Amino acid sequence: MSLSVGDVAPEFSLPDQDKQVVSLTELRGAPVLLVFYPFAFSGKCTGELCQLRDELAVYTDAGVRVLAISTDPVFSLKAFRDAESLTFPLLSDFWPHGTVAQAYGAFNEKAGMAVRATFLVDAEGKVAFAEVNSPGDVREQSGWKSAVAGLAA
């Protein structure tokens, strides 16, 4: 079951593409956009993350940290980040496989992958926006931007 607006966001610590551990607890005090995606290098995921890269200032100018999370290993994430010039951390929920995605209700157990889910966590650690898309559905990022604007208001 996915998280809802108002729920406390589950804490996590995951390695990024450079094997540096990123912890949600350490980011407390600032909003964080969590973008779960199935696989590095897949067409739809690449398109979504490249759009996020191109529009990153919408989030960073509002003080929002952006973290993308998949069940890919760190080595794949490093290659993906380099190939697409992504400038935000790509976190690996590889092992234990999908534990963080499961905690957020963003894991497809049968396929062993994260689903397309997005959560905006406010500065106090509560979910301010939650969206879980069906497999294969590309996300419309206008909802994320509206949620970020709502935090700033």
Report how far residue 95's alpha carbon sits from residue 40's, in angstroms, rounded to the nearest whole number.
16
Where exactly are the structural domains of the chain?
13-152
**Per residue of the chain (153 residues), what is the pLDDT tens digit?**
679 999 999 999 999 999 999 999 999 999 999 999 999 999 899 999 999 999 999 999 999 999 999 999 999 999 999 999 999 999 999 999 999 999 999 999 999 999 999 999 999 999 999 999 877 788 889 999 999 999 876
pLDDT at 10: 98
Count the alpha carbons within 13 Å of 53 in the hemisphere toward its beta carbon: 17
pLDDT at 153: 67
For the domain 13-152, what is the CATH code? 3.40.30.10
pLDDT at 2: 79
Is 50 one of the annotated active-site residues of the chain?
A: no
Is residue 151 exposed (0-12), middle (13-18) or buried (19+ Cβ within 10 Å)? middle
Active-site hit among 22, 45, 86, 114 = 45
Closest CA to 13 of 69, 78, 88: 69
